[in-house]
Homo-oligomer: A and B are copies of this chain.
Amino acid sequence: MQGFLEPESVALIGVTRQSGAGSYNNLEVMLRYGYKGRIYVVHPQASEICGFETYASINQVPEVPDLAVISIGRDRVLPVFQECVQKGVQNVLIISQGFADADKEGERLQKELSRIARDNKVRILGPNTMGTLNAFFGFSTAFVDIPRDPSPPPLTLVVQSGIFLAGFEFFTHRMGKAIDLGNCCDLDFVDVLNFLEADPQTEIIVLHMEGLSRGRDFLQTASRIIQKKPILVLKTGRSSEGAKAALSHSGSMVGEDGVFQQAFDKAGVIRVNNMIELLAASKAFLNYKPMQGPRIAVITVAGATGVMSADACGDYGLELAPFPQRIEDELKNHRMPWFRLHNPVDIWPIGMVSGSFSEVFKNAARQLIQEDKVDAILGIIPVFGSSMHSDLDMVSCVQDIEVYNHK
């Protein structure tokens, strides 16, 4: 995998002669992303692309590059791949579509690719992939611009669609590495997990999975890795309609969803059901310490959201921690002697009188986090549009749930 994520040299086969908006020129994108390695552009007709002299074939490239990236019409992929093999290239990334994702002929071509790779011990990523991205190293094979995170987080995405690299704002801005497996004709989830197990830049693994061919190996590998690194999975193609769609997207045979569920449960992989949950869970693992138990204390400025979070605790297997009486004295509002605090802790009446919501919030959080029976604090802070609430906005300006005790 190293060659796919940190190549010292790369051959680009099939770069477009156009550049700028709408050209999907992966050479241009690669340079803009900050790749500092040696690039060889292979093109049979053009003599120069984006200031790079070209080579008519991989054969004429003056070294054996760590990686070849193929992005040409499907019918020409097989011979070009064979040239790469003859050249001695070990890692080949095939962006081209039209294989198991398309028709019988595509399926045949893909099988042929797999066979040649296996016979020659050459690894293929793809086909039908946007490739890889490594914000630590400054390398991206994507054909669309992706902003490079200046301080990459230890989160690695392993997906079956380039949309995760380019189209979901959170991931686009907060991923260290990404690997789009595409149709998985050779490298698959098991291979990549085995690599990530020892990767020091990967502490959280996020999977987007449409299909899986080596179920038993996946189970074994994932069970081992989650002892060290959490694995989140968004398994799509759950429904029969979804399964059909997955077949024509990544050529994946989906199988029974119940089987996947059992495997995930057994392996200790955390399954999320949709993008909203995936983003929330990824954000949580990136930013917060794991909870030591299920007991939560909720601080809110509105009783109604306290009730909603109590419901959510029920939905997600969390418990409301018992409310510590000493906090009641600490947070007392002497103008409302009848006012009782509970968990969820509604700080509105206190904050309104004290004049500083952020101080009341921080005080409550400080007190609660010291309790043995409190495993985490949930703060619910609404977005107030008005300048009258600048103090509340100081705490945080998100209509979201944040745990006070950051990593």
A residues with CB within 8 A of B: 20-24, 73-74, 97-98, 101-103, 105-106, 144-147, 159-164, 166-169, 172-173, 208, 210, 236-242, 244-246, 248-250, 274-276, 301-308, 310-315, 319-320, 335-336, 338-340, 342, 344, 346, 349, 352, 355, 382-391, 399
Q: Give A384 to B162 CA distance when docked, in angstroms.
A: 12
A363 CB → nearest B CB, Å: 17
* B340 close to A103 (CB less than 8 A): yes
* A340 close to B102 (CB less than 8 A): yes
Q: Give A303 to B307 CA distance when docked, in angstroms.
A: 38
- Contacts of A336 on B, CB cut-off 8 Å? 97-98
Closest to A103 in B: B338
9 nearest A-B pairs in the assembled complex, by CB-CB distance: A167-B382, A239-B314, A249-B303, A161-B304, A145-B386, A163-B302, A242-B310, A242-B311, A241-B310
- Contacts of A384 on B, CB cut-off 8 Å? 144, 166-167
* A249 close to B22 (CB less than 8 A): no
Q: Give A385 to B140 CA distance when docked, in angstroms.
A: 15
- Contacts of A346 on B, CB cut-off 8 Å? 249
Q: Give A390 to B35 CA distance when docked, in angstroms.
A: 24
- Contacts of A159 on B, CB cut-off 8 Å? 304
Q: Give A352 to B73 CA distance when docked, in angstroms.
A: 14
- Contacts of A319 on B, CB cut-off 8 Å? 241
**Could you jot down 29 A-B contacts, CB within 8 Å?**
A21-B388, A21-B389, A21-B390, A24-B352, A24-B388, A97-B336, A101-B303, A144-B384, A144-B388, A145-B387, A146-B386, A147-B385, A161-B302, A163-B301, A163-B302, A167-B302, A236-B307, A241-B314, A241-B320, A242-B308, A245-B342, A245-B344, A249-B304, A249-B346, A274-B308, A274-B311, A274-B312, A275-B308, A276-B276
